[in-house]
Amino acid sequence: MGEIERLFGAAAAARANAYAPYSGFSVGAAIRTPSGAIFAGANVENAAYPVGACAEAGAISAMVAAGERRIAEILILGEGEALVTPCGACRQRVREFASDDAMIHVAGPNGVRASFTLAELLPQAFGPGIAKAHAP
């Protein structure tokens, strides 16, 4: 099985468990790290709407909890006519652990619909290199 198929399968499995009773919009995300490990997440909404978390945030948490720190590529899976590209906050979350040329794949139920580099989705990003250079 290819890397994209593995990512798609992991994102689909996570998406099946999404908790999205308010929007009805289930999303799954899966990250591949340089080690080849895959970490998935689903969106988790909340009665207090702003407290909800995106699928990408869950996948990143799973990656960090397992002791990994680099995103080689990420796939986001959602339904609908429009591409389910990551929200602005999640682009920044991905930036923390990925380089400008990391691939972000946007998928629908039938497979990947579009692929972007992180730099395409978050140009001129503020990243950890800048912040760490100023850390005391």
Which of the residues 107 through 136 are near ligand THU (CB under 6 A)?
Answer: none
Catalytic residue selected from 3, 5, 45, 56 = 56
* Near ligand THU by CB under 6 A: residue from 76, 94, 103, 104: 76
- Residue type at 122 in one-letter notation: L
* Sheet strand arrangement including 27-32: 38-42, 27-32, 73-78, 103-108, 111-117
* Cβ-based nearer residue to ligand THU, 15 or 32: 15
Buried b / exposed e across 102-132, counting CB within 10 Å, b at 16+? bbbbbbbeeebeeebbbeebbeebebeeeee
Smaller CB separation from ligand THU, 13 or 20: 20
Residues between 20 and 49 with contacts to ligand THU, criterion CB under 6 A: 20, 23, 25, 27, 43, 45
Are 129 and 100 in contact by the 8 Å Cβ rule? The answer is no
- Residue 19 pairs with which residues in a beta bridge? 44
Choose the stretch contacting ligand THU; rule: CB under 6 A; options: 6-14, 65-73, 85-93, 110-118: 85-93
56 catalytic? Reply is yes
Residues acting as catalytic residues: 56
Q: Which residues bind ligand THU (CB under 6 A)?
A: 20, 23, 25, 27, 43, 45, 52, 54-56, 76, 84, 86-87, 90
